Amino acid sequence: MNLTLTGFTGRIALVTGAGRMRSIGRSIATTLAKAGCDVVLTGTGKSPELYPPDELSAGWRDIESVAEEIRALGRRALTVVSDVTDPVSVEALASRVLSEFGTVEFLINNAGSTKGQDRQPVVTLPVSEWTRVIDTNLNGTFYMCRAFAQHMIAGQRGGAIINISTLGARLLAAGTAAYASSKLAINGLTTILSGELGRHGIRVNGVCPGLIDTSRLDDMGRGAAWSGLVKAFIPLGRAGTGEDIAHAVAFLCSEQGSWISGQNLYVDGGYTNVPLMGA
């Protein structure tokens, strides 16, 4: 007998940070659409001159391109440019989504801070960089959870919230104070929320990706150093893909994952140590 994940048909999923071509967010959004969800996609409206070269050559259009993929699967897609660091923007997003779709059953908080000048020791870390990372990762996740959990409770349909964290919250490597601290706090928020929302039939879990082959890590290259990193630290012998993370998210949203809550699941190929600052 074949095992098929169920519980998606006619459900509404919202995925933040879903606009990059080689990304976790796009994979999550399209996977949930394939499972049967209509999907709300958010992004920051990144200017095209900041796109990676492969996106430029492909004529990529951020969340609009992902929306086209979802519509081609026969599902509805709504795109909204939204800033998770701004609680007013988050409330406006919630109002827009509820006006268009009436509900959200699956909230996937995937938006994360870009790599900047934050990957350095605490004693030299600019306060502005600490604030930038915390505002996007931790505060943004809090604002989204707060706004949408209120509506999920009122809707009395249950649902699932998935917070995307990182292996870095376990490694706690030198030079990653802002990023790792924000994600470690997200892991705590995930567990706390699961205790608060469980009586409303809302499950809250975290997914913590390891080394994932996305455009976010293009600064590391894909040559000998990358291959050596994979060989040295990932027992399963390959970097992860966006689909690897998306499959974990889908399971946690499914009826088959309906008795799992308050967990932070590390999806990392068995990653074993700390090779680089800020990977």
Phi, psi at residue 158, to the nearest 5°? Answer: 70, -160
| Reported pTM | 0.94
In the chain, how many domains are there? Answer: 1
> Any idea which residue has 């030198």 for tokens?
174
Is residue 58 in some structural domain? yes
Integer Cα distance of 128 and 52 in angstroms: 25
**Could you tell me the CATH number of the domain that includes residue 256?**
3.40.50.720
Upper half-sphere CA count for residue 15 (Cβ side, 13 Å):
29
Q: Going by C-beta distance under 8 Å and a sequence separation of 6 or more, which residues neighbour residue 211? A: 167, 217, 229, 230, 233, 234, 239, 240, 268, 269, 271, 279
Catalytic entry in 51, 143, 179, 271: 179
Whether 51 is a known active-site residue: answer no
Integer Cα distance of 145 and 152 in angstroms: 10
**How distant is the alpha carbon of residue 219 from its chain centre?**
20
Phi, psi at residue 106, to the nearest 5°? Answer: -125, 120
From first to last of the 279 residues of the chain, give the pLDDT tens digit: 678 999 999 999 999 999 999 999 999 999 999 999 999 999 998 888 889 899 999 999 999 999 999 999 999 999 999 999 999 999 999 999 999 999 999 999 999 998 889 999 999 999 999 999 999 999 999 999 999 999 999 999 999 999 999 999 999 999 999 999 999 999 999 999 999 999 999 999 999 999 999 988 888 889 999 999 999 999 999 999 999 999 999 999 999 999 999 999 999 999 976 444 444
* Residue 115 structural domain: 12-267
Is residue 185 in some structural domain? yes
Is residue 122 in some structural domain? yes
Beta bridge pairs of residue 159: 202
